[in-house]
Each structure stands twice: as C-alpha cells, then as structure tokens.
Amino acid sequence: MGKLRKTQKFAKVKRMLKPKDQRIPNNPRIKKTKKTKESLRRISKTSSSMFLQYNTSLGPPYQVILDTNFINFSIQNKLDIVQSFYDLLLAKAIPCVTDCVIGELEKLGSKFRVALRVSKDPRFKRIHCGCNGYADDCICNLVTQHKCYMVATSDKDLKRRIRKIPGVPIVGIKNHKYTVERLPI
C-alpha cells in the first residue's frame, strides 16, 4: 500500500503578501528614509597636487610611516628596515613611527619586545600624534592631512582604507622583500 500525500497541491495554496511588502501602497509598517544630497555624496576634496593620483610632494628623502605588523613581519623575514627601504626606493628613506604604534607594541607584551626595541631605534623619526586611540585611525588621519608620507603596512584593512586616499603609496612585504604600490615615477 502506498503512502498518502500530505502536501497540498499547487493550485490549492493561497498566495498572500507579507504585511511589510513594498508593493502595498501607503504601508505604515514600512519605515521611509529621506535621502538628502549630503548623504548621497561623501566625496572628500583632494588637493590640486593629486592630479591622477600623482603626488608632487613626495621626494627623497622619503618619509615612511610604519605600522605595528609591518615592523613585526620585517623582523620575522629578517629584513633590516633602513637598508631594505634604500634597496627598494634607491634613495634615503626615513622610517617614522607614531606614538600609537609604540603604544600598541607596548600593550602586546613580551612577545613583541624585539619589535618595540627596533621601533625605538634612533634612526627612526618619532611622530607625536596627540591621539590616544587606534593606530590605524591615527595613520589614516595623518596621511590625509599631510600628503608627504608613504605608509608601510601588512594589514589588509589598513591597505584598503589607504587606497581610498589618492596619491599615497603603500609599502608591503612580498617574497622576503619590500614592494611598493602606486609610487609615481
């Protein structure tokens, strides 16, 4: 003996609209938001020196802002930061470290003790940012205000944020070497 079908046939099922459906006119359950011109356009003004992502304020000696993970990955790959920048850019580069980056390295503890010691090298320039927050936000704010810096990072999120800022080159680590992206030649 066969089993009885308990499902309803297609024609018997009644089709109904949901109460929050968009097709219902003047539906009080749907929240309508007004879009103003300001909310639609959030394009920041760029300076005139940034034509086609070409930054005229960059030049030797280059000033490179280092991120926390970039210092750590340089140590893991056994790269001397100052010498590797010279090999990459064929010019003098001044590594710069913000107070927030040093604060992050101090918070990370004994595991990053060598990276902290490297960041306090006298060849590195210390930038006093005045903010007591997250290092990535500090670096992004610093780069948007002053277009004379390059950013050295291995963090994907920070790279994505900096790519939105025109004319700022990004230095990363690939195949045990430093690589630069978007450097005007």
* Residuewise pLDDT in 10s, the chain (185 residues): 667 766 666 555 566 777 777 777 776 666 666 555 555 555 566 665 565 456 777 888 999 999 999 999 999 999 999 999 999 999 999 999 999 999 999 999 899 999 999 999 999 999 998 887 789 999 999 999 888 899 999 999 999 999 888 889 999 999 999 999 877 66
**pLDDT for the residue numbered 63:** 94
d(CA 97, CA 78): 19
**pLDDT for the residue numbered 56:** 73
What are the structural domains of the chain?
60-181 (3.40.50.1010)
Please name which of 40, 38, 39, 20 lies closest in space to residue 30, comparing C-alpha atoms: 20
The helix, strand and coil proportions of the chain, stated in percent and rounded to the nearest 5, come to 40, 15, 45
DSSP category for residue 133: S
**pLDDT for the residue numbered 41:** 53
